[in-house]
Structure 1
Amino acid sequence: MTLLIADRTNGIYPSKIREVLEQASALKKQGVEVADFTVGRPDFDTPEHIKEAAKQALDKGFVHYTPSAGSLIFQEAVCSRYYEDYQLQFEPSQVIATVGASQAIYSALQGILNPGDEIIAPEPMYVYYGGLSFLAGAKLVSVPISDEDEFIVKAEVLGKYITPKTKAIILTSPNNPTGQVIDKETVVKISQLAIKHNLIVIADDIYDKILYDDVDYLPIAKAPGMKERTIIIGSFSKTYAMDGWRIGYLIIPKELYKGIFKLHQHMVSCPNTFVQIGAAKALTDSQNCVEDMVKEFDRRRRLIMKFFDENMISYVRPKGAFYIFPSVKEFGLDSKELCMHLLHEARVAIVPGSAFGAAGEGHIRIAFSASYEEIEQGMERMMTALNKLRNK
């Protein structure tokens, strides 16, 4: 029997992050100690008060469907957090509970893009943006940025990529993989560009609480005129160490809500009910757990930067998220070759910069979401291996 597969599956590709992770996992199964800096997920347990809220929800019988957009408790909690943090006023009816941020992005792109449309994204970028745009029938237009620009896209450069086909801009700040945060001045300039050309902005803000160096963060939805044209992607995976809970959300301008909601409803009857209760507790309770986690991430960040400084390896100081994206051009291997070399020579698993687009080549992504001790040991082995390459 001939099996028929949809042509669209040939236009998307497996995650290159997972490729490295699988090889690292194979070595671990053989008993090899590997420092794993590949997957961007906190190594902390979900805070106890969040787990307890979900347990109580189960005991109280929160085991049936909620409305497709999520429970009112969840929607109100999202709105409350945005008002408290950013003085942004949204209505619960603008919020959709999703199965993580990935489903939120998929729903948003399917809801706004038509075949032939273009969407712009700075590169290096999150690995799935291209595939998700393709599945919507649209073209993702990459705007290359480099360490010379500190991996911050300039509005005037972004503007050169806008055509009559451009429908939207997708921004990730703090950024995966670079760890950079778009400064306020640039955010305002990009917002003016979006208004001028009548573009939607998809703000992938899932790292918005993981910030360092007292950076002055401005969500683009708060820029003048942007609340009405910004789709916000939110997640609990990074901020509250809830990656396995698979819960996120969309905040959608009223004009766009109905269409995106219908798509969401066709994909997901509703996200897990008692998980929504735990997520609402995360948003409405004390945020000390987030602050404590960020302090520890900062300690790990400073440790990695110390290794790079002492070994004179170039990098752009990350201001958010839990990634650092150093340059490795001097070592004479492309980023994938270097990652494979470090995996087998230093027993360190990291992600090649090329996984995040052509503009990421010549760099590697290190996630400092492993323990301080694992980072310290892994970085020592990595520096030894890199210095051997340097001295060849």
Structure 2
Amino acid sequence: MESVSEASSIRTNNRIYELRAAGLDIVTLSLGEAFFDLPTPSFEGMPGTQIHHYSHSRGVPLLRQKLAGYYETCSGAPVDPETEIMVTAGSKAAIFMTLTAMLDPGDEVIIPEPLWVSYPDQVRLARGVPVMTPWYEQVGDLESYITPRTRAIIVNNPHNPSGRRLGAVEMLSLHEMAEKHGLFLISDEAYHEFVPEGEVFVSALEHDPEKRHTIVCNSMSKNYGISGWRIGYLIADQHFTRQVIKLQQHMVTCAPTILSYYLAENFEAILDHTRPQIRRVVATRNRMAGLLADRGVQCLPGDATFYLFASLGESRLDSTEFAERLLTRYGVAVVPGAGYGASCDRFVRVAVGAETEDRLVRGMHALADLVEATR
């Protein structure tokens, strides 16, 4: 465990919670979730004899059915709710169980930077070796990192922290690599609803409907502004899910039953309620990117999620020093880019899902002011 780091974004936000509890006014651009207007859930009418007890380890059957149909609609790939999907306590658990099930000690996993902060340490916890690639490498460049020990490639699509979406050509290239070298493609699609209005998300399953090598991990709680509910899911072929369910049974037994029933019974209503708010936060993200660009602060290309990966430009500070000074002098919290990979220390992650527009604007100007002040 000494070789495993804390998740940098969560460490940052734990500090922000403490500062706000002490009465400080912090513009929170570090929090990796969207705050939506959501009704207080009512559990009236739920099956009282079941919601307080264990459910099937694969997940509540009705929720699996709803998720299978939903993913078939957005990917075109059929999903068998009985054998190819498992509901988990958040998508983090789905990713960790996936890695634990597939890796032997010393197996390598290719992780493009900027990476999601938990990928490398989850690989290490699964006794594997993370192989990170610099942020400027293209999808086609990943093949040069493949060795006889490579077992998988992880992609986050749409991407945290840049907001970039992988296109169909890039996704097809990843599938060809997986087929050619006998690899798994792990596609973390936890932000797949957060795309601009009128744009289409391309799931990894679209090019591998038989799930020969593709494992999709996703999150209901992240996509619908209920991150504290911890409801995620995994989609893979029946042979892989048959192995992963053993980990579920030994670690947590099942995802939270009462919340799973609520989400199953209110599946369509939740989508109808949150989708307009999702479109608004994505539009806000792109307005804030424009504001930063007008102030001379460039971000990595992207138009999805509620994240920006902002360059520090000519600032003499590294990302950790920059984030600390932004917090202590301006009362604005961002996450240092160093947590997203060794090549990313000239960036900070900015999240726009937890603040009002006027406070977001205040935070963007503070960030640009500090870049200018530390040239």
TM-score of the two chains, using structure 1 as the length reference: 0.89
Counterpart of 2:115 (choices 111, 125, 148) is 125
**Residue 38 of structure 1: aligned partner:** 30
Deviation track 1:62-115 (CA, whole Å, cap 9, x = no partner) reads: 222111111211111110111222222111121111101111111111111111
Q: Give the superposition deviation at 1:238.
A: 2.1
Q: Which amino acid aligns with 1:382?
A: L
Deviation track 1:197-246 (CA, whole Å, cap 9, x = no partner) reads: 11111111111111126444311111157622111101112211111111
Deviation track 1:235-283 (CA, whole Å, cap 9, x = no partner) reads: 1122111111111111121221221111111111112212111222454
The aligned runs of 1:354-369 (5 Å cut-off) are 354-369=338-353
**Residue 28 of structure 1: aligned partner:** 20
The aligned runs of 1:146-295 (5 Å cut-off) are 146=136, 154-212=138-196, 214-224=198-208, 227-285=211-269, 287-295=271-279
Please say if 1:380 is aligned against 2:352: no
Q: For the residues of structure 1 that align with 2:10 and 2:72, how far apart are their CA atoms?
A: 36
Please say if 1:137 is aligned against 2:127: yes
Bigger drift between 301-310 and 248-257 goes to 301-310
Q: Give the superposition deviation at 1:119.
A: 0.9
Gaps of 5+ in 2: none
Q: Give the superposition deviation at 1:55.
A: 4.4
Distance of aligned partners of 1:145 and 1:282 in 2 relative to their CA distance in 1, 3 Å threshold: farther
Gaps of 5+ in 1: 1-8, 147-152
Q: Calculate the aligned-residue CA RMSD, in Å.
A: 2.0
Q: Report SS of the residue matched to 2:223.
A: coil
CA contact (8 A) 1:350 1:365 kept: yes
TM-score of the two chains, using structure 2 as the length reference: 0.93
Counterpart of 1:86 (choices 47, 72, 75) is 75
Q: Which amino acid aligns with 1:220?
A: A
Percentage identity across aligned positions? 27
Q: Give the superposition deviation at 1:182.
A: 0.9
Q: Give the superposition deviation at 1:136.
A: 1.1
Q: Report SS of the residue matched to 1:97.
A: strand
Q: Which amino acid aligns with 2:313?
A: K
What is the aligned length?
373
Q: For the residues of structure 2 that align with 1:67 and 1:25, how far apart are their CA atoms?
A: 35
Q: Report SS of the residue matched to 2:305.
A: coil
Deviation track 1:138-185 (CA, whole Å, cap 9, x = no partner) reads: 101112123xxxxxx533211001111111111101011111111111
CA contact (8 A) 2:282 2:305 kept: no
Deviation track 1:311-337 (CA, whole Å, cap 9, x = no partner) reads: 111123422111000110311100000
Q: For the residues of structure 2 that align with 1:234 and 1:313, how far apart are their CA atoms?
A: 31
Q: For the residues of structure 2 that align with 1:28 and 1:86, how far apart are their CA atoms?
A: 41
CA contact (8 A) 1:121 1:143 kept: yes
Please say if 1:305 is aligned against 2:276: no
Deviation track 1:260-307 (CA, whole Å, cap 9, x = no partner) reads: 111111111112212111222454446332321222213321331232
Distance of aligned partners of 1:260 and 1:374 in 2 relative to their CA distance in 1, 3 Å threshold: same
Q: For the residues of structure 2 that align with 1:158 and 1:87, how far apart are their CA atoms?
A: 27
**Residue 6 of structure 1: aligned partner:** none
Q: Give the superposition deviation at 1:59.
A: 4.8
CA contact (8 A) 2:163 2:308 kept: yes
Q: Which amino acid aligns with 2:370?
A: A
Q: Which amino acid aligns with 1:36?
A: T
